[in-house]
Amino acid sequence: MLDAFSRTVVSADAKGAAIGSEDLADLRKYVADANKRIDATLAITQNVSCIAADAVAGMVCENTGLTQPGGHCYPTRRMAACLRDGEIILRYVSYALLAGDPSVLKDRCLNGLKETYLALGVPTSNAIRAVEIMKIATVAIMTETNTGRKMFKGINSGSGAQCKDIAAEAASYFDLVIEALS
Amino acid sequence: MKSAVTTVISAADAAGRFPSMSDFESVKGSFDRALPRLEAAEKLASCIDKFTNLAVDAVYQSGSYEQANKDKCVRDIHHYLRLINYCLVTGGTGPLDEWGISGMREIIRIQLLPTSAYIEAFIFIRDEIKINDVMSQQAETEFKGLLDYLINALA
């Protein structure tokens, strides 16, 4: 597993060069943005069940056959598995966001996920839809552009507008999940 | 690779839980100490050739080692300093452990290399070179801590 720092190290080692000023500029930005990053991660961890439940509910609403007998979210046991998977994906996205690098998400969550779903007969198109909704909800909560109340409390009274760049990064991690399932 | 952030994430993942408040605290703590580390890495990168040459010259002046090996010694010292540069960036000893120390004993034994030459060179860098001229006090502390770690591993 890598983070923003060790990613720089691994690519510098491939060239056999020491890490100089140019490469350090990005890392300094990462350090400077640390508080925003932590706030953005909190936006996920404080709203996990809400984000996952909304996404799965949205997916079912768009395709009501899923919860009917014979549907993929019938009986409740399979619906519960769906909710659980949503939370697992959110967990790995929160790790990747904190680390500033997608390696943990790729290695530990996405690697083999599509094959597993195909083997279990989970329809990936529906799973992708749920992930899309999670992405939209997460970005909205992080940037405080969601309708209704502010959904998270940051450690440094971070306001959502400041989290914009980090929210874009989080969106890119959800895109990786979608890509892996497509 | 081990760093402050990946350690926290590994532990959280092993327990299957989201990063907790104490995880954030520890990540934040490592970020607070990151700037001197990055400064040390930057300055070391710019002085890496100078430090290497000064140290190797000093070691070989003593006359107790074969001059023929000097170039190889320069290469190795440069390599270790580069790994220290990486450690300063990651904030852990991962790069030194994984790429410099594990397996090192075996290689040194099989090639009959005098480890004392390396140790003398790193002690020279630590004690004789005025590191303070190129980096701040805090950065120097970070750098010297890793030099000590390497010297202990070689000894």
Q: What is the ipTM of this complex?
A: 0.87
Residues A146-165, mean pLDDT to the nearest whole number? 76
Per-residue pLDDT, averaged over A94-116, amounts to 95
- Tokens representing A105 are 């998400």
> Which of the four pLDDT bands, split at 50, 70 and 90, describes residue A156?
low
pLDDT value at residue B17: 94
Split at pLDDT 50, 70, 90, the class of A159 is low
**Beta-carbon-side half-sphere exposure of residue A36 (alpha carbons within 13 Å):** 20
Per-residue tokens: B67: 């001059």
A5 touching chain B per CB within 8 A? yes
CA–CA separation, A48 and A11 (whole Å): 34
Query: Can you tell me which residue has the tokens 């943990």?
Result: A104
For residue A88, which phi and psi values (nearest 5 degrees)? -65, -45
A contacts of B26 (beta carbons < 8 Å): none
The structure tokens listed for A95 are: 């790790």
Q: Please tell me if residue A44 touches chain B, with a CB cutoff of 8 Å.
A: yes
Percent of chain A topping pLDDT 70 = 97
Work out the mean pLDDT of chain B and round it to a whole number: 87
Task: Using alpha carbons, select from A43, A31, A52, A50 the residue that is nearest to residue A160.
Answer: A43
Q: Do B1 and A91 touch (CB under 8 A)?
A: no
Q: What is the pTM of this model?
A: 0.86
The whole-angstrom separation of Cα A29 and Cα B109 is 43
Chain B interface, best mutation among A8, A19, A49, A101, by max B CB count within 10 A = A19
Q: Is B142 exposed, middle or buried (0-12, 13-18, 19+ CB in 10 A)?
A: buried
